[in-house]
């Protein structure tokens, strides 16, 4: 029988898919989209600081183009290779065509980014070549990482407590206890996982970790928050202790794996509404130079639409941009193992080519129905900078929403505003006025009173006006609608009465947030009274204003204990463990919720009312909870419900924010018993009573 001669393995031919740079045996395949480009070149570099490419490869528009996809295979390349694109085409801004044949362009699908030591944002906006000062993409091989069996946790929202944090700001301060080389990094966050576990949170919501332009800030300042993306696939290199581009990917994945091992989910704050390229006169980093007319929204004169407030708006209605967004989500879930996403200014994604909102925006339904994203947490910031506000009516069935109404109404009530008791009742009960009309689960509302955008909790009870002079914008930036109250003195004070009132107000806000129906979200450092000194828009403060000072744990250790106790109480509620199969309306019926005022069954909804009470039972029917909220200046006597015979423990005072620690929050079994037909609730305080069988809790 004749022997067969082994044939050499032939490398796959160049082809338009997958997009980006894919390493194979002996080479790398590249593919990029551009409809309007007339010529494309692939640029190869040895280092991020090269002032010229080591090799320039022109693509043949007849041989290396299929439809609108330009592609080629280059033998001899391997992971770690730095590359970029350069595009030639018509320059006609009135048609949205802004090609610049000198500019180094990032690959929209690049999985890693190399940042030059002398990176300059301005070089992307000025005439001429910018090789030495520009971001470069890096060829990766993401299949080499060992996940050791890790996979997303798929925790139900009803079992979720979110902690919004900034990767750098969380551990950058010298007080963090993290080794210097790891401070402000993904690795540094790993060092603090025991703290997060002890606090009781179940998910971290990381402020933007896509590679962003840190120079997109006023002169002399840094874009700290990261809402200025240049890549939708690459993790931000500046958050890595290791500086090699491929090591950044491993460090990010090490962080995700470590958080998962601790039972903590990873939610990314993602920015698919704009990029760092800004408006007219902004720098060219990638999308603008590859096909501005496709990637961005423009008016009839070719000017950028600006529904993001940052100069440009991605054209999310366009099929190519929709694919970019969905492919990016696939990558972060399948390759990087993240558990969910919070979409910045998500309402923008519902706008069509003219900027008008669509009832069934294609990209939102693409995400909603994608089988590879099934089980992934989807959270919408359901508004944009153009005035579109969709809280309570965001598209789809799976999307949860940052509930800005919860923030505003709870702040107003605790501050002592008139006319907000009816709204407060809705916020405590999962906002049925917003969500009960559709079959939504009780966790639909993401409940928060503070976030990165606005005052911290400490500043909310310490300042009545924003103090943003450090941002160098004349104090014009940041919202003026803070609904805050300084408790009598603007800013820091040694007055013990004011300090005590602020501590009480902080506890009131936290108790309402954590124990209301919905999914609670806490802001990094609120549990230790972190301050930004009245700055309510610290996006450019990569300094002690924007960092967490861990010494604050010693300032008010009772508050830290209080937050831990609130989270434990939340998970004692049987509804939190089991109600993810119930709609909001069904849960309201099963929990037998009753609203009261100071008199039973008589909620006072008058404009001058500042009090509310409610009673609810666990789904199993063996635990009763009674909440009384008093935002008035004087104590109020609240009637107590008559207990059923099975509630042999009697009413026990579990929470009383007017009492000093540790009596402000007690374990149910050890809590003081309350007798009588009524209970006095002190001014500006929240009380929770619990009753059950003798062994309840």
In angstroms, rounded to a whole number, what is the distance separating the alpha carbons of residues 164 and 402? 12
The token pair that represents 549 in the structure block: 């000072």
Active site includes 667?
Answer: no
- 262 forms bridges with which residues in the sheet? none
Q: Are 466 and 537 in contact (CB under 8 A)?
A: yes
Q: Are 167 and 209 in contact (CB under 8 A)?
A: yes
Q: Are 181 and 221 in contact (CB under 8 A)?
A: no
Question: Which residue in 29, 48, 169 sits closest to 112, CA to CA?
Answer: 48
Question: Which residue in 667, 657, 663 sits closest to 690, CA to CA?
Answer: 667
Q: DSSP of 145-176, one letter per residue?
A: ---TT-------GGG--EEEE-HHHHH-SGGG
Within 10 angstroms of residue 469's Cβ, the number of other Cβ atoms is 11
The token pair that represents 268 in the structure block: 């990314």
In angstroms, rounded to a whole number, what is the distance separating the alpha carbons of residues 578 and 602? 30
- 164 forms bridges with which residues in the sheet? 205, 523
Of these residues, 100, 164, 339, 381, which one is catalytic? 381
Q: Residue 549 region, left (φ>0) first, then alpha (ψ -120 to 50), else beta?
A: beta
Question: Which residue in 386, 323, 381 sits closest to 357, CA to CA?
Answer: 386
In angstroms, rounded to a whole number, what is the distance separating the alpha carbons of residues 204 and 446? 14
Furthest C-alpha separation in the chain = 103
Residue 410, burial from CB neighbour count under 10 angstroms (0-12, 13-18, 19+): buried
Angle at which helices 404-415 and 421-428 cross, to 10°:
130
Of these residues, 292, 344, 453, 556, which one is catalytic? 344
**Count of H-run helices and E-run strands, the chain:** 15, 27
Active site includes 344?
Answer: yes
Which SS3 state, helix, strand or coil, does residue 230 take? coil
Q: DSSP of 611-665, one letter per residue?
A: EEEEEEE-TTSSEEEEEEEE-SSS-EEEE-PPPPTT-TT--EEEEETTSPTTTTB
Question: Which residues are known to be catalytic?
Answer: 344, 381
């Amino acid at each position: 029988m004749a022997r067969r001669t082994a044939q050499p393995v032939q490398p796959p031919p160049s082809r338009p898919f997958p997009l980006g740079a894919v390493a194979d045996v002996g080479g790398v395949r590249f593919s990029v989209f551009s409809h309007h480009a007339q010529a494309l070149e692939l640029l190869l570099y040895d280092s991020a600081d090269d002032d010229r490419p080591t090799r320039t490869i022109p693509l043949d528009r007849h041989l290396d183009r299929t439809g609108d996809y330009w592609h080629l295979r280059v033998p001899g390349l391997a992971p770690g290779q730095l590359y970029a694109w350069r595009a030639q085409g018509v320059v006609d801004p009135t048609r949205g065509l802004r090609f610049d044949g000198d500019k180094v362009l990032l690959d929209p699908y690049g999985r890693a980014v190399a940042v030059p030591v002398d990176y300059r944002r301005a070089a992307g906006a000025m005439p001429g070549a910018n090789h030495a000062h520009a971001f470069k993409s890096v060829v990766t091989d993401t299949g080499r990482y060992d996940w050791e069996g890790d996979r997303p946790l798929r925790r139900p929202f009803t079992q979720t407590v979110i902690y919004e944090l900034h990767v750098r700001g969380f551990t950058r301060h010298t007080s963090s206890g993290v080794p210097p080389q790891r401070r402000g990094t993904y690795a540094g966050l790993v060092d603090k996982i025991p703290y997060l576990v002890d606090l009781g949170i179940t998910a971290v919501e990381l402020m933007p970790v896509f590679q962003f332009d840190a120079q997109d800030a006023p002169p002399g300042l840094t874009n700290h928050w990261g809402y200025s993306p240049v890549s939708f696939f690459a993790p931000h290199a500046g958050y890595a202790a290791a500086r090699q581009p491929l090591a950044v990917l491993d460090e990010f994945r090490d962080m995700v794996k470590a958080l998962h091992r601790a039972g903590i989910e990873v939610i990314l704050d993602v920015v698919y509404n704009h990029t760092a390229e800004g408006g007219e006169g902004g720098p060219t980093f990638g999308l603008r130079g590859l096909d501005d007319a496709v990637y961005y929204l423009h008016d009839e004169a070719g000017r950028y639409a600006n529904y993001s407030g940052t100069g440009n708006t991605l054209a999310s209605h366009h099929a190519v941009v929709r694919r970019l967004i969905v492919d990016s989500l696939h990558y972060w879930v399948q390759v990087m193992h993240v558990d969910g996403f919070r979409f910045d200014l998500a309402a923008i994604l519902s706008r069509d080519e003219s900027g008008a909102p669509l009832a069934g925006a294609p990209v939102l339904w693409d995400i909603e129905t994608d089988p590879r994203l099934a089980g992934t947490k989807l959270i919408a910031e359901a508004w944009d900078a153009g005035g579109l506000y969709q809280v309570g009516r965001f598209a789809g069935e799976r999307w949860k929403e940052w509930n800005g109404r919860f923030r505003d109404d709870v702040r107003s009530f605790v501050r002592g505003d008139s006319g907000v008791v009816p709204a407060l009742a809705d916020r405590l009960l999962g906002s049925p006025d917003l969500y009960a009309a559709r079959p939504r689960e009780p966790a639909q509302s993401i409940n928060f009173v503070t976030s990165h955008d606005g005052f911290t909790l400490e500043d909310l009870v310490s300042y009545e006006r924003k103090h943003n002079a450090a941002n160098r914008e004349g104090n014009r930036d940041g919202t003026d609608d803070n609904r805050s109250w300084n408790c009598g003195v603007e800013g820091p004070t040694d007055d013990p009465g004011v300090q005590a009132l602020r501590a009480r107000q902080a506890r009131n806000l936290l108790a309402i947030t954590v124990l209301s129906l919905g999914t609670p979200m806490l802001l990094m450092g609120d549990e230790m009274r972190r301050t930004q000194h009245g700055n309510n828009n610290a996006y450019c403060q990569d300094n002690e204003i924007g960092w967490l000072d861990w010494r604050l744990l010693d300032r008010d250790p009772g508050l830290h204990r209080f937050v831990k106790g609130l989270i434990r109480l939340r998970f004692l509620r049987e509804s939190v463990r089991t109600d993810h199969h119930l709609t909001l309306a069904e849960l309201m019926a099963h929990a037998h919720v009753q609203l009261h005022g100071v008199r039973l069954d008589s909620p006072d909804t008058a404009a001058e009312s500042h009090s509310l009470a409610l009673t609810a039972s666990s789904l199993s029917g063996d635990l009763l909870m009674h909440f009384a909220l008093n935002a008035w200046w004087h104590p109020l006597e609240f009637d107590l419900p008559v207990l059923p015979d099975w509630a042999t423990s009697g009413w026990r005072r579990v929470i009383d924010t007017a009492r000093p620690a540790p009596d402000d929050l007690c374990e149910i079994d050890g809590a003081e018993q309350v007798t009588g037909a009524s209970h006095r609730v002190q001014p500006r305080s929240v009380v929770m009573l619990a009753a059950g069988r003798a062994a309840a809790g």
